């Protein structure tokens, strides 16, 4: 066996409702999956199929840990989302088979350096540093799916106890199964993948010291403090 020339990085993991840890391979995110949020970002939700971007697996913040405020931004924004944890994989997965890949669900927050994203959009550049920076993906405990897809239920986010985002999973443009199937046409999915499924409207800025709490009925919560 070839000796490693630098230490191997550790595998990120997320706590689960079974007491074990879920190892994370990749983190995918779907953009503008709620009509009201698409409109608040200046887009027509009826005109586009799902599109995706990624975050590094080591961008996850777990177990209620603090989240450092990132550098080179003056506008860090919150986006609460349903997170899907895959226990199976495949390519070109039919919609009818997609839920069979799901191990469980969690609540996550897609933190965004909105000023960097706006500049990238203006210049036609990638969003990587606006979305995939260190500590950009707080996520709560993963609840086993038990063969059930949460198709409805309140999804909310509070900042310092003040309600900022409030929607319903029923308002998603693309269902979990449709989103998994669409993503599998572009990349091979595998056990350990996480999929952030989009956010309702009401996204907005947070500051150092802000306490964020996201919740989805029947799924769980995610909490973190910006430091």
Per-residue model confidence (pLDDT) at position 1? 59
User: Where does the pLDDT of residue 47 fall: very low under 50, low under 70, confident under 90, or very high at 90 and above?
Assistant: low
- Given this model, what pLDDT does residue 220 score? 96
Name the one residue in this structure whose structure tokens are 């799901």.
102
Please state whether the predicted TM-score (pTM) of the whole model is above 0.85.
Answer: yes
Model pLDDT for residues 210-227, shown as the tens digit of each residue: 999 999 999 999 999 999
- Contacts with 200 (C-beta within 8 Å, 6 or more apart), sequence order: 34, 36, 37, 80, 155, 165, 166, 167, 168, 171
The rounded mean pLDDT for the chain is: 93
34: nearest Cα among 225, 224, 200, 221: 200
Give the range among 1-10, 42-51, 180-189 with minimum mean pLDDT: 42-51
Domains of the chain (ranges, CATH numbers): 24-225 (3.90.850.10)
Q: What tokens were used for 181?
A: 């199937």
**Integer Cα distance of 167 and 157 in angstroms:** 9
Residues 47 and 181: their CA atoms lie apart, in Å, by: 19
141-174 confidence digits (pLDDT tens): 999 998 778 999 999 999 999 999 999 999 999 9
20 in Cβ contact with 142 (< 8 Å): no
Is a pLDDT exceeding 80 seen at residue 40? Answer: no
Burial class of residue 92, CB neighbours in 10 A (0-12, 13-18, 19+): exposed
**Rg (alpha carbons) of the chain, rounded to whole number:** 17
Task: Report the C-alpha gap between 39 and 62 in whole angstroms.
Answer: 31
Q: Is residue 206 within 8 Å of 212, Cβ to Cβ?
A: yes
The three-state secondary structure class of 10 is coil
Which pLDDT band holds residue 39 (cuts at 50, 70, 90)?
Answer: low
Largest CA distance in the chain: 55
Question: 20 phi and psi, to 5 degrees?
Answer: -90, -170
Q: 91-107 pLDDT, tens per residue? A: 999 999 999 999 999 99
Q: Give pLDDT, residue 71.
A: 98
49 compared with 8, residue with greater pLDDT: 8
Q: Give start and end residues of each alpha helix (H) in 89-220.
A: 95-98, 114-123, 128-131, 176-184
- Residue 155 sits at φ, ψ, to 5 deg, of -125, 120
Coil, strand, or helix at residue 132?
Answer: coil
Report whether pLDDT(3) > 60.
yes
């Amino acid at each position: 066996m070839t000796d490693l020339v630098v230490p191997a990085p550790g595998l990120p993991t997320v706590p689960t409702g079974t007491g074990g840890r879920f190892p994370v391979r990749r983190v995918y995110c779907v953009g503008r999956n709620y009509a009201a949020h698409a409109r608040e970002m200046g887009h027509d939700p009826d005109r586009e199929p799902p599109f995706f971007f990624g975050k590094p697996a080591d961008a996850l913040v777990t177990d209620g840990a603090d989240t450092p405020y990132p550098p080179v931004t003056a506008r860090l924004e919150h986006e609460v989302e349903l997170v899907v944890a895959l226990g199976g994989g495949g390519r070109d997965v039919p919609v009818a088979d997609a839920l069979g890949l799901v191990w469980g669900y969690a609540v996550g927050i897609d933190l965004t350096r909105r000023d960097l994203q706006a500049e990238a959009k203006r210049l036609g550049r990638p969003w990587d540093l606006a979305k995939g920076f260190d500590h950009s993906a707080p996520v709560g405990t993963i609840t086993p799916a038990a063969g059930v897809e949460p198709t409805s239920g309140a999804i909310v986010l509070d900042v310092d106890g003040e309600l900022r985002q409030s929607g319903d999973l029923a308002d998603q443009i693309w269902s979990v199964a449709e989103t998994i199937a669409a993503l599998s046409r572009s990349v091979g999915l595998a056990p350990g993948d996480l999929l952030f499924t989009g956010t309702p409207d009401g996204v907005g800025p947070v500051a150092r010291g802000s306490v964020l709490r996201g919740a989805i009925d029947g799924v769980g919560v995610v909490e973190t403090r910006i430091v």
